[in-house]
Structure 1
């Protein structure tokens, strides 16, 4: 089968597998808070001293709407909103501190959004110093944050560095002015360059760029020019994402037509050119649209088999538990997931009342945990070894799909399982993961829930 035929077959809506089950297939919209905190306490007691915990903080405010974005956000220039939101975050953190028996050992801390650097350096210091001082830093801690180049100041960088942050991720997307205009993300090369130079001068150890292919008005020349500029700035990691066109969910995406968006072979060509140029300038393909320098911790973890994947994406952290703070944030206790209210006002109202703001949750069955481990092995190790637990849940449909993928050159079977092939296997990694997604296979309405795999 030709590559064109394979793309036509496998370019379907499927998850990115930062969790299993994925959020649309969780069991309950009426979360059991008492049971959740019992699971959290149990996981904490088992893993805090050995692995530590991870914390994700969702900071949802942005001054301008980027029309490609599908994250939970509020567009405002009212910075008086910072203090009340931070108050709510700290009250939520206290709910967890009241549950923990010991001081938490913080292994990973990540600020996402929205735009975390919407918040002033003093606001971020108040929030983060309170959280960090309530626990202890793990010897191998990693603190990171997402940043908008237009409003990330040297004061932001210094404040966060002094709190222990050593990695930042800059939302670049594309340097082409015509693309930037249509996605309402106008930022100059010089602005990005300034932030990168300041961060490195201060002592940041890892800089990531988020790039997107398939954006409205984007052409091969856009990607080529962007990668030429990326080469000069030399970030340590690259996330080269596929644009997810979901106008039924995001009103901002209704401002351009289908004719403006690269599709099919045209979109795939954007990725292929981008990937080729990334490889030429010294990046290695980690998987799931992630690339890194061979000196970066992400690549080292992939090579030694310790790469992990969770709601924050690929990570080198071994923490089994993620505490998600803020509106829409998701927590992972290993055996259960929980998501907060997406409405910021509803979230703050719960915090003012001293009650959890949960809106959706899931307690994993034995089957869920087996499939979760399976999908993580495929996503992180690019291979799978069958075990008795998995064999018990293997279906005829799974076996048939794997047989097809073997014939198509996507996987290579062996006596104990399979490995993904270097080119096609990585290209269709999400599709291979989806073979084992029992919950998705049982639902016929899945096609409007996810972006396409390519």
Structure 2
């Protein structure tokens, strides 16, 4: 496999979005955002795409300890008395959305994220899911999944969620090296992971994902090789191999270690190349960016068929025009509009007590936004943008693509722009060429993590 050279790494190791949306959150026009218009667009989009169903994301923010690498919105507590009131408020928010949509609710996807969803007792997770499904129709072939901490996921968690329709889980591992685990304050053993996998497979779960991260403090090729080797021995169905996003100006918890502890640039990319090679040698297929799946897994099948999608939950094997995020900090998407909830639990409760949707900001997409969103989504999912049905590139974007083409990252032909083999390691950089809002900003260095 051809590898990027040092000069490319130095040139393109810049702050770059992860492109789970376009426009990206820092460039939303929240000052002119109107929650009523958001609900109107949501209702219209759902009416036009009801057969596709709704994707539901529920953010469960509570964790018993702070993982210092984490960029998620969390609330650290050992008080499990927070579970019941939080679920009550999430279900109240869902009732508000159902009333606004005012049609039969069809659910295509549910994902529980966090935080630590398995912080919640199984009985409370059951009450949450039963409440979400109350009065709704579950679409045939629906996908229910949850994120699990290997050290606290019990057999009862697995049984309870399986009975409710869950068949997929994602285990947050990150790294098995004890020194790395100490610095990132994330503790689980190989035995913890193996136990959860064995129990899940015995129960009947059909897709298990491992979340791994490269670029963490004190990681070396030796430690990453060991982590990948141990992971592959357990044979998960999918592996997400993410780049660590170092943004301590946003997440102060990342200050437990310093920049001197981090592999960067060429050294960091070497960790990704090593992991990618090891994963692919075991038969996993490269899907999108940072994701790998077995050939029989639905994620790879979606990539082959062209139905792979990317949203705020990451890559998905299906496209639903409506994604509703429930809980603190969750983001909703109705294709032509976005909305994000407040981030503090107390504010979330207060707004719902006032019978107000707990949305704090959002964006109503312009026509240009929708076109650029399609380009970026195609590049992130297919590695290729097709200029058809009257779509074309303006001269500014074309000019930004020329250096990428000269550097061998993209190939531009009649009606298409395609990432090359080397370019697939720089998808975020390629998408930046289409990102009009980012290019007009001078502030991206303090908004996003490094591309490499």
Aligned to 1:281: 282
For residues 336-363 of structure 1, the C-alpha deviation after alignment (integer angstroms, 9 at most, x for no partner) is 1000000111001111221111111100
Structure 2 residue aligned with 1:445? 443
Distance 1:136 1:353 in 2: 29
Matches within 5 A, 1:296-311: 296-311=297-312
Secondary structure (helix, strand or coil) at the match of 1:96 reads: helix
Find the partner of 1:433 among 427, 431, 434: 431
In the alignment, the residues of structure 2 paired with residue 205 and residue 104 of structure 1 have an alpha-carbon distance, to the nearest angstrom, of 26
Tell me the equivalent position of 2:258: 257
Whole-angstrom distance in 2 between the partners of 1:119 and 1:275? 34
Q: Distance in 1 between matches of 2:55 and 2:354?
A: 26
User: What are the ranges of 5 or more consecutive residues in structure 2 without an aligned counterpart?
Assistant: none
Compute the displacement of 1:405 (Å).
1.9
- CA–CA distance in structure 2, aligned partners of residues 153 and 142 of structure 1: 21
Check whether the contact 1:29–1:359 (CA below 8 A) recurs between aligned residues: no
Alignment of 1:21-420 (within 5 A): 21-29=23-31, 31-48=33-50, 50-387=51-388, 390-391=391-392, 394-396=394-396, 398-420=397-419
Distance between the aligned counterparts of 1:119 and 1:59, measured in 2? 8
Displacement after TM superposition at 1:30 (Å): 6.4
Count how many residue pairs are aligned between Structure 1 and Structure 2. Answer: 450
Contact 1:371 1:390 (C-alpha < 8 Å) held by counterparts: no
| Contact 2:302/2:318 (8 A) holds in 1 | no
Report the more deviating stretch, 410-419 or 120-129: 410-419
When the two chains are superposed, the root-mean-square deviation of aligned CA atoms in Å is 1.3
> 1:213 deviation in Å?
0.4
Q: Deviations over 1:375-423 (max 9, x none)?
A: 11111111112247542x5233x212322222222122221122222x2
Aligned with residue 20 of structure 1, among 10, 13, 22: 22
TM-score, with length taken from structure 1: 0.97
Taking structure 2 as the reference length, the TM-score comes to: 0.97
2:33 touches 2:364 (CA, 8 Å); kept in 1?
A: no
Task: Detail structure 1 runs of 4+ shifted over 3 Å in the superposition.
Answer: 387-390
**Partners of 1:149 and 1:10 in 2: CA distance:** 35
Distance (whole Å) between structure 2 residues aligned to residue 450 and residue 360 of structure 1: 19
Alpha-carbon distance in structure 2 between the residues aligned to 1:223 and 1:150: 21
Paired residue secondary structure (1:99): helix
Counterpart residue number, 1:5: 7
Deviations 1:61-118 (A, max 9, x none): 0001000001000000000000111111011000011112322110011011000010
Structure 1: give runs of 5+ residues left out of the alignment: none
Q: CA deviation at 1:52?
A: 0.7
Contact 1:30 1:360 in 2 (8 A): no
